[in-house]
Amino acid sequence: MSRSVMKIALIGAGGITRAHLPGLVSLGEVRVFSVEGAAELAAEWNLEVLPSYEEALAWADVVDICTPTHTHFELARQALEAGVDVICEKPLCRTSADAQTLVDIAASSGRVLLPAHVVRFFPAYVALHDAVQAGGIGELAVLRFARSGTYPAWSTWFGNEEHSGGLVMDLMIHDLDQARWLAGPVTSVFATQVETRAGGDNGAGGDGGGDADSASASSSDSAVPAASRIAGCHCILTHASGAISYIRGVWGAQSTVFETSFHVAGDGGYLEYESRDDYLIRTNGLDVSKRSIVPASNADDPYGNELREFVAHIEGRTTARVSALDGVMAVRLAEAALESIRTGKAVAFDEGAGGASACGEGVVCGCAKEDVK
């Protein structure tokens, strides 16, 4: 159902809101509610401040939740139960049980719930997905993803694994989602993680050399200054198709430059990309004459494109490329990786009967598939 002017309540005032706001203000009337920082953000963007979350829900058609991970469930639950559609930053919730509960509430209330997995909208990753879907590199065999940036010392909740899920759930969840989006259902997850502590001590999970609980403990030890921490994790996914995904994530020193990359190979060639290389995707097919370099323009605004698609989905004009169930599965994969880090063993993974990610397949969101045009 279309609305003449959509009323959007932005919930939160942290750094990610600055990425959302250019797109949001082009889509409707935006007001902000946040426990901290609302007045400053509103002044910066000439927005009105909502005095309480209850008043935000009474006013809004949709909320865009950009708050710490451990607050997502309660904020989204209240919105859905109040009849308000929900866009929520990744991860959808800190636990998959909470995420699935939100999916169920959305379905029963007839509301839309969409997780903001923005990497699905970055030009290089869009080009990769389109090429794979078109069969451009044949049947997938090996997928490699890497993502690194500074340890998030600007806010203490990131370093508290109970609140954020740590490196795996906050950063690597992007590539866990990409691997599943490209190569399909996952059957097993293995991961290992190492994190430095003050004085150079290491905490390691799996076969990294420490006791089983040391990595988890180190990432939630508030006595260690966040600016002195460095964490690294490797994760291996086995897909039902037989493809293997290798995912590396790093929260590095405060001088670390943010970088991402992928190398995806099939039986018909490969595609590779490094963010440092001016947004080019290199391709190499079995036919050497078809070797090429494909530009992946960085001119697009991935956050704006994501929000425009989400609003079009809410209004029934399209189907979003990411569903609430995709958000649940990403959290489940992150949980499996954390369990593997804790135990040092591979974790069997079964998506179950609800593995479809198309809109309208029962428990994905509240909209009716026949109403999506």
> How many angstroms separate the first and last alpha carbons of the chain?
11
Helix (H) or strand (E) holding 250: strand 244-252
At 201 the three-state DSSP class reads: coil
Question: Residue 371: pLDDT above 60?
Answer: no
Q: Which residue do the tokens 């909740």 mark?
A: 157
Would you place residue 299 in the very low, low, confident or very high pLDDT band (cuts 50, 70, 90)? low
Neighbours of 223 (CB within 10 A): 6
In this prediction, residues 33-54 reach a mean pLDDT of 97
- Give the whole-angstrom CA distance, residue 321 versus residue 99: 18
Virtual CA dihedral for 23, 274, 93, 194, nearest 10 degrees? -150
- Give the whole-angstrom CA distance, residue 245 versus residue 266: 12
pLDDT tens for 93-151 read 999 999 999 999 999 999 999 999 999 999 999 999 999 999 999 999 999 999 999 99
pLDDT score of 278: 61
Tell me the two tokens of residue 99: 């995420």
Would you place residue 314 in the very low, low, confident or very high pLDDT band (cuts 50, 70, 90)? very high
Question: Residue 268: pLDDT above 60?
Answer: yes
Q: Interior CA angle at 6 toward 308 and 4, to 5°?
A: 105
Share of the chain above pLDDT 70, in %: 80
pLDDT score of 358: 31
Contact (CB, 8 A) for 136 and 292: no
Task: Give Cα separations from 187 to 190, 244, 346, 347 (angstroms).
Answer: 11, 10, 10, 9
pLDDT score of 283: 72
- Can you give 334-358 as a three-state secondary structure string? HHHHHHHHHHCCCEECCCCCCCCCC
Question: Residue 273: pLDDT above 90?
Answer: yes
pLDDT score of 204: 44
Q: Kindly list the structural domains of the chain, giving each domain's residue range(s) and its CATH number in brackets, ordered by start.
A: 7-117 (3.40.50.720), 119-198+226-301+322-348 (3.30.360.10)
Q: What is the mean pLDDT of the chain?
A: 85
Q: Which of 21, 100, 9 is nearest to 55 (CA)?
A: 9
Question: Residue 362: pLDDT above 70?
Answer: no
pLDDT tens for 29-38 read 999 999 999 9
Q: Which residue has the higher pLDDT, 153 or 61?
A: 61
Candidate ranges 5-9, 199-203, 286-290; pick with highest mean pLDDT: 5-9
pLDDT tens for 76-86 read 999 999 999 99
Task: Tell me the β-bridge partners of 332.
Answer: none
- Give the whole-angstrom CA distance, residue 299 versus residue 275: 14
Query: Exposed, middle or buried, 157 (CB in 10 Å: 0-12/13-18/19+)?
Result: middle
Q: Which residue has the higher pLDDT, 246 or 278?
A: 246
Tell me the two tokens of residue 188: 């097993």
Task: Give Cα separations from 290 to 89, 262, 286, 287 (angstroms).
Answer: 39, 20, 8, 6
pLDDT tens for 217-238 read 333 454 566 778 899 999 999 9
Sign of CA dihedral 66, 237, 309, 283: positive
In this prediction, residues 37-53 reach a mean pLDDT of 97
In this prediction, residues 314-321 reach a mean pLDDT of 96
pLDDT score of 228: 80
Question: Residue 366: pLDDT above 60?
Answer: no
